[in-house]
Chains A and B, each alone.
Chain A
Amino acid sequence: MRFLMVEDSDDLAQSVSERLRLDGHAVDRAGSLAEAEDCLSAAPYDLILLDLSLPDGDGRSFLTRQRRARHDVPIIVMTARAAVSDRVDVLDLGADDYLTKPFDFAELEARCRAVLRRRGGASETVQRFAGFTFNPLTAQLVVAGEPRELRNRELRLLEILLAAPDRIFSKSQLCDRLFSYAESVSDNAIEVYVARLRKKLEGSGAQIDTVRGMGYRLTAT
Chain B
Amino acid sequence: MKGGGSLSLRARLVLQLLVLAALLAVLLFQAVRTVAGDAAKETLDSVLGAATLAIADELRGSDQGVTVDLPHEAFSILGSISEDRIFYRVAVEDATITGYADLPMPSAAQGPAAPSAPIFYTAPYRNAEVRVAMVRRVVLAGQLATPVTVLVAQTRSGQAAIAARVANRAAAIGLGVFALAAALSILTAGSVLRPINRLAEAVGRRGPSDLRSVDHPTPAELRPLVESLNGLIARLRAALTRTETFIAEAAHHIRTPLATVRARAETALRKAESEDARETLRAVIRAVEESARSASQLLDHATVVYRSDRPARESVDLARLVEGLANSFGPVAGLKDVGIGFQGTEAKLEVMGDRLLIEAALRNLLDNAVKYSAPDTDIMLRLSREGGSACVEVADRGRGLSGSAQAALTRRFARGANVGDVVGSGLGLTIVDEVAAAHGGRFELAEREGGGTCARFWVPLS
A residues neighboring B (CB under 8 Å) = 9, 11-12, 15-16, 18-19, 22, 53, 80-85, 88, 91, 97-98, 100-107, 110-111, 113-114, 151-153, 172-173, 176-177, 180-184
Closest Cβ neighbor of A154 among chain B residues: B337
B residues neighboring A (CB under 8 Å) = 248-249, 251-264, 266-267, 269-270, 275, 278, 282, 285-286, 288-289, 292, 295-296, 299-300, 303, 324, 328, 330-332, 334-337, 355-356, 359-360, 363, 371, 375-376, 421-423
Report Cα–Cα, A34/B324, bound state, in Å.
Answer: 32
> What are 23 A-B pairs with beta-carbon distances under 8 A?
A12-B259, A12-B260, A15-B264, A15-B267, A16-B263, A18-B263, A19-B263, A81-B248, A83-B303, A98-B328, A100-B296, A102-B263, A102-B288, A110-B335, A114-B331, A151-B376, A172-B275, A172-B278, A173-B270, A176-B278, A177-B270, A180-B336, A182-B371
Asked whether B334 lies within 8 Å of A152 as measured between CB atoms, the reply is: yes
Report Cα–Cα, A22/B286, bound state, in Å.
Answer: 21
Residues of B within 8 A of A98 (CB): 328
Contacting A82 at CB < 8 Å: which of B251, B334, B337?
Answer: B251
Asked whether A19 lies within 8 Å of B375 as measured between CB atoms, the reply is: no
Asked whether A153 lies within 8 Å of B375 as measured between CB atoms, the reply is: yes
Closest Cβ neighbor of A10 among chain B residues: B260
Residues of A within 8 A of B270 (CB): 19, 22, 173, 176-177
> Closest Cβ of chain A: how far from B281's Cβ, in Å?
9
Report Cα–Cα, A83/B330, bound state, in Å.
Answer: 20
Grouping DSSP codes into helix (H, G, I), strand (E, B) and loop, the B interface class, with mixed when no group exceeds half, is helix
> Closest Cβ of chain B: how far from A129's Cβ, in Å?
22
Residues of B within 8 A of A91 (CB): 324
> Closest Cβ of chain B: how far from A140's Cβ, in Å?
15
Report Cα–Cα, A84/B431, bound state, in Å.
Answer: 13
Report Cα–Cα, A81/B250, bound state, in Å.
Answer: 9
Residues of A within 8 A of B282 (CB): 176, 181
Residues of B within 8 A of A97 (CB): 328, 331
Residues of A within 8 A of B336 (CB): 152-153, 180
Report Cα–Cα, A183/B261, bound state, in Å.
Answer: 19
> Closest Cβ of chain A: how far from B354's Cβ, in Å?
10
Q: Taking A103-B259, A107-B335, A181-B289 as contacts, is the C-beta distance between A18 and B267 under 8 angstroms?
A: yes
> Closest Cβ of chain A: how far from B301's Cβ, in Å?
11
> Closest Cβ of chain B: how far from A90's Cβ, in Å?
11
Contacting B263 at CB < 8 Å: which of A12, A84, A106, A153?
Answer: A12
Asked whether A84 lies within 8 Å of B360 as measured between CB atoms, the reply is: yes
Residues of A within 8 A of B371 (CB): 182
Asked whether A12 lies within 8 Å of B256 as measured between CB atoms, the reply is: yes
Residues of B within 8 A of A84 (CB): 300, 303, 356, 359-360, 363
Asked whether B289 lies within 8 Å of A182 as measured between CB atoms, the reply is: yes
Report Cα–Cα, A4/B251, bound state, in Å.
Answer: 24
Report Cα–Cα, A176/B363, bound state, in Å.
Answer: 26
Residues of B within 8 A of A152 (CB): 334-337
> Closest Cβ of chain A: how far from B421's Cβ, in Å?
5
Inter-chain pairs besides A53-B252, A81-B252, 17 sampled, C-beta below 8 Å: A9-B256, A11-B260, A12-B256, A15-B260, A18-B267, A53-B249, A80-B259, A84-B300, A84-B359, A84-B360, A85-B356, A104-B289, A113-B331, A114-B330, A152-B337, A176-B282, A180-B336
Q: Taking A15-B263, A82-B299 as contacts, is the C-beta distance between A181 and B286 under 8 angstroms?
A: yes
Contacting B300 at CB < 8 Å: which of A83, A176, A181?
Answer: A83
Closest Cβ neighbor of A9 among chain B residues: B256
Residues of B within 8 A of A182 (CB): 286, 289, 371, 422-423
Closest Cβ neighbor of B332 among chain A residues: A107
Asked whether B262 lies within 8 Å of A82 as measured between CB atoms, the reply is: no
Asked whether A82 lies within 8 Å of B286 as measured between CB atoms, the reply is: no
Q: Taking A81-B252, A84-B300, A107-B332 as contacts, is the C-beta distance between A11 and B278 under 8 angstroms?
A: no
> Closest Cβ of chain A: how far from B279's Cβ, in Å?
9
Report Cα–Cα, A106/B371, bound state, in Å.
Answer: 15
